Amino acid sequence: MDLFEKINRLKREKNAVILAHYYQESEIQDVADFIGDSLELARAAQRSTADLICFAGVHFMAEGAKILNPGRKVVLPDLRAGCSLSDSCPPARFRAFKEANPDHFIISYINCSAEIKAMSDVICTSSNAIKIVEKAPKDRPILFAPDRNLGRWVMEKTGREMTLWPGSCIVHETFSERKIIDLKTGHPGARLIAHPECEESILRLSDFTGSTSQLLKHVIESPDPTFIVATEAGILHQMKKRAPGKNLIPAPPTQNCACNECPFMKLNTLESLARCLEAEGPEVTVPSEVREKANLALTRMLEWSI
């Protein structure tokens, strides 16, 4: 309770705002000013008038906030909070692809570094990827980076051929097809809901696929009583809060582990959040030439997804 009070006091004193992703631990979600999926968080960061934006999420998200709102100080509770998907797209290899394929229109999933964003034509998130791909120029080949699972799913939905960067998320590739089939057999009425970063075998079984916010909305609005949830386990906190009557079953990982929890997201704790507000650091910065180019691609996404 003391930490909650300390965080709330620091927020007032420093005119700070806490933006949190759904994969943050429950206590962080409860103390945040705004919780959302990547698109909603980008919009919240862009319109924020706070002096200090404390991003309870991972590094690429905090970078995104800085790119969209460079006049604000952006801090991240733990600088080690990276992302396996973002790491699967190193800038040097990406630049080499771009140079070898100058005709390609490049659509990058928001889960990538500022440097990758700066080399992209437009960014997308899991909630607007279909819309963005549909708006891409029809006369140019597309490179979709870095998530191959989301890319394949969007290709199927839009009918648009794309070259897919071979990247993936360690959390969303953890779910076991066999265990999910067993669960569905044991719970005949249960609906499988999945994030599009999941593998094709899981998405084929899925009754509803969408971003974290879309999954949450689906659970709240659907008359179905039972859901098997194939995404990071943090989302269950909001699902339980906002759809209290529903029976929610986390999709089981292949191994006997807590691999459906993102180890990067979970580096942030209530303690590191309080320290970060107090010290106004670690700060996340983006060099201005990278920021300006990345801002074009991110702003284009926000315009195209209205």
The listed partner (ligand SF4, ligand 13P, none) that binds 38, CB under 5 to 8 Å by sort, is ligand 13P
The listed partner (ligand SF4, ligand 13P, none) that binds 264, CB under 5 to 8 Å by sort, is ligand SF4
Q: Which of 126, 128, 260, 268 binds ligand 13P (CB under 6 A)?
A: 126
> Smaller CB distance to ligand SF4: residue 111 or 213?
111
- The residues facing 246 across adjacent strands are none
Site for ligand 13P in 16-45 (CB under 6 A): 37-38
The listed partner (ligand SF4, ligand 13P, none) that binds 126, CB under 5 to 8 Å by sort, is ligand 13P
The residues near 19 (Cβ < 8 Å, ≥ 6 apart) are 32, 33, 34, 36, 41, 44, 45, 48, 53, 54, 55, 56, 57, 65
DSSP-based three-state secondary structure for 161:
coil
The listed partner (ligand SF4, ligand 13P, none) that binds 121, CB under 5 to 8 Å by sort, is none
Shortest Å, Cβ 113 to ligand SF4: 12
> Is there binding between residue 295 and ligand 13P (CB under 6 A)?
no
- The stretch near ligand 13P (CB under 6 A) out of 4-12, 125-133, 148-156, 280-288 is 125-133
> Smaller CB distance to ligand SF4: residue 7 or 85?
85
Shortest Å, Cβ 211 to ligand SF4: 11
CA separation (Å) from 61 to 10, 64, 257? 22, 5, 26
Q: Count Cα atoms within 13 angstroms, Cβ side, for 22.
A: 24
Q: How many residues does the chain have?
A: 306
Site for ligand 13P in 151-210 (CB under 6 A): 169, 195, 197
Amino acid 136 reads: A
Shortest Å, Cβ 127 to ligand 13P: 6
Q: Is the peptide bond before 146 cis (omega within 30 degrees of 0)?
A: yes
Q: Which of 48, 113, 125, 128 binds ligand 13P (CB under 6 A)?
A: 125
Shortest Å, Cβ 264 to ligand 13P: 8
Helices of type H across the chain: 2-14, 26-31, 38-47, 59-68, 84-87, 91-100, 114-118, 129-135, 148-158, 177-186, 200-205, 212-221, 235-242, 270-279, 288-304
Token match 């999941």: residue? 198
Specify whether the CB–CB gap between 37 and 213 falls below 8 A: yes
Instruction: Judge residue 36's burial from the number of C-beta atoms within 10 Å of its C-beta, 0-12 exposed, 13-18 middle, 19 or more buried.
Output: buried
DSSP state of 230: E
Q: Which of 32, 54, 171, 270 binds ligand SF4 (CB under 6 A)?
A: 171
> Is there binding between residue 238 and ligand 13P (CB under 6 A)?
no
Site for ligand 13P in 91-120 (CB under 6 A): 111
Token match 């200090």: residue? 52
Residues of the shown chain interacting with ligand SF4 in the complex, contacts defined by CB under 6 A:
23, 58, 83-85, 111, 169-171, 232, 262, 264-265
Residues of the shown chain interacting with ligand 13P in the complex, contacts defined by CB under 6 A:
37-38, 111, 125-127, 169, 195, 197, 211-212
